[in-house]
């Protein structure tokens, strides 16, 4: 059986987080196998962009501090970091660490923040999608990676947790290139599994105390959930996280990909602590980009193509929020965006619906919308999802 601990924790009060983490470790018997004295542990946090802890975009510093203190007490050297969206540069890391509250966490726990931007090519486990991955050297060279993820909805992949968190092992702008090479989300899901299998985190923990719903991973809203989820198998941990979000394996392409490869067997998961039903969010707001399931593939091709185009999500710029920074343009994999009069313009024909622009806009100025038929069917699907 794959064991996953689901522990209730209703606030970021340090004592409460520690008690929930300790409960999870005890339920899993994790003290017996986690690294300790003489070893270097890399805490791979979710630091997507320069955001405060209250935004629910990043792993909360109280969770990072709890885990860092635990490994420090075991005698390990602890390095904290991520490769956020954008170029992998020390100056950008400094700004992200400062805003996230991790500078103080490192000081209090005697941990190090990673400023080493060296990159190393690592052979991929799944050779069909990439032969090697350009990975953050400090993570690769650590004795163990611990994935400290954030529970969030995700506009492209529907859900973000332990597996998606490992995509930050890929250094800097290389992350954007894979979207262009693998625009179809099932392919991209397999790539995420490849990256996770290549990086091999030894333990995964999801901060779902305050999660993100709606247009995650950066443009959604904080949602109180009260869950810390942890275990050795990142896909099993995500299966529980998705369950808390009211999603099943088929709703989440990464889980479907892991299952198809024999890395996730849901019937073999033993959930310890709380039951998923105890913490499930029945009325979770899904991303506006969510797939619409309403017709089968037996429609004539011309009709299904027309419907696909009629209902597909589109991105648009909210001019009242846009500050003209150009980050969306520089991160658009197919170069479907250009700046015109300091406002991004989108070529819909070139857009591959990867939502990188929405994910990395610091002002939440990129919005997802659908035309009437798409909006109507999306609402219908949401009601069905909520039962």
Binding mask 51-80 for ligand SF4 (x = CB under 6 A): ------------------------------
Least separation in angstroms between residue 341's CB and ligand SF4 is 11
- Sole window of 135-143, 215-223, 226-234, 362-370 interacting with ligand SF4 (rule: CB under 6 A): 362-370
Q: Which of 310, 324, 369, 379 binds ligand SF4 (CB under 6 A)?
A: 324
Question: Is the Cβ of residue 246 or residue 334 nearer to ligand SF4 in the bound state?
Answer: 334
Element (H, E) at 297: none
**SS3 for 343?**
strand
Least separation in angstroms between residue 50's CB and ligand SF4 is 13
- Sole window of 34-42, 82-90, 112-120, 314-322 interacting with ligand SF4 (rule: CB under 6 A): 314-322
Could you count the other beta carbons within 10 Å of the beta carbon of residue 298? 6
Least separation in angstroms between residue 287's CB and ligand SF4 is 13
75 burial via Cβ count (<10 Å: 0-12, 13-18, 19+): exposed
Cα dist. 379→83, 286, 384 in Å?
36, 10, 9
Question: Is the Cβ of residue 125 or residue 325 nearer to ligand SF4 in the bound state?
Answer: 325
Tokens of 253: 């392409």
Residue 136 makes contact with ligand SF4 by CB under 6 A: no
Q: Which ranges constitute the DSSP H helices of the chain?
A: 14-28, 61-73, 90-100, 102-109, 137-141, 162-165, 174-181, 185-199, 234-244, 253-260, 276-279, 301-311, 327-330, 356-360, 372-385
Residue 323 makes contact with ligand SF4 by CB under 6 A: yes
Least separation in angstroms between residue 313's CB and ligand SF4 is 9
Phi, psi of 53 (to 5 degrees): -60, -35
Residue 325 makes contact with ligand SF4 by CB under 6 A: yes
Residues of span 335-354 touching ligand SF4 by CB under 6 A: 336-337, 344, 346, 351-354
Residues in the chain: 387
Tokens 């991105």 locate to 315
Instruction: Tell me how far apart the alpha carbons of residues 363 and 346 are, in angstroms, rounded to a whole number.
Output: 17
Residue 366 makes contact with ligand SF4 by CB under 6 A: yes
Give the binding site for ligand SF4 (CB under 6 A): 315, 317, 322-328, 332-334, 336-337, 344, 346, 351-357, 361, 363, 365-366
């Amino acid at each position: 059986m794959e064991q996953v601990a689901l522990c209730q924790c209703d606030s970021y009060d340090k004592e409460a987080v520690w008690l929930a983490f300790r409960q999870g470790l005890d339920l899993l018997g994790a003290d017996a196998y986690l690294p300790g004295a003489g070893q270097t542990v890399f805490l791979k946090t979710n630091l997507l962009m320069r955001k405060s802890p209250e935004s629910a975009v990043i792993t909360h510093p109280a969770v990072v501090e709890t885990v860092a203190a635990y490994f420090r007490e075991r005698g390990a050297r602890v390095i904290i970091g991520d490769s956020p969206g954008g170029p992998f540069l020390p100056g950008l890391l400094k700004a992200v660490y400062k805003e996230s509250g991790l500078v103080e966490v490192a000081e209090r726990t005697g941990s190090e923040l990673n400023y080493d931007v060296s990159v190393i090519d690592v052979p991929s486990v799944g050779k069909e999608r990439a032969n090697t991955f350009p990975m953050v050297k400090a993570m690769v060279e650590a004795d163990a990676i611990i994935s400290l993820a954030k529970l969030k909805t995700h506009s492209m992949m529907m859900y973000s947790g332990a597996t998606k968190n490992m995509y930050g092992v890929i250094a800097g702008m290389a992350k954007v290139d894979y979207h262009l090479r693998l625009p179809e989300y099932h392919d991209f899901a397999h790539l995420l599994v490849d990256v996770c299998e290549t990086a091999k985190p030894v333990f995964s923990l999801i901060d779902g105390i305050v999660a993100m719903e709606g247009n995650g991973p950066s443009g959604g809203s904080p949602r109180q959930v009260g869950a810390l989820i942890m275990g050795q198998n990142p896909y099993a941990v995500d299966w529980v996280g998705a369950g808390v979000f009211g999603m099943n394996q088929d709703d989440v392409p990464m889980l479907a990909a892991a299952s198809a490869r024999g890395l996730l067997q849901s019937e073999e998961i033993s959930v310890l602590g709380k039951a998923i039903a105890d913490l499930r969010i029945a009325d979770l707001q899904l991303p506006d980009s969510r797939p619409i399931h309403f017709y089968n593939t037996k429609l004539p091709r011309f009709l299904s193509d027309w419907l696909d185009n009629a209902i597909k999500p589109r991105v648009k710029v909210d001019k009242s929020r846009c500050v003209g920074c150009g980050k969306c343009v520089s991160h658009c994999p197919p170069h479907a965006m250009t700046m015109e009069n300091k406002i991004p313009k989108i070529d819909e024909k070139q857009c591959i619906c990867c939502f990188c622009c929405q994910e990395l806009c610091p002002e939440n100025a990129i919005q997802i919308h659908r035309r009437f038929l798409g909006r109507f069917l999306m609402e219908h699907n949401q009601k069905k999802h909520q039962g």
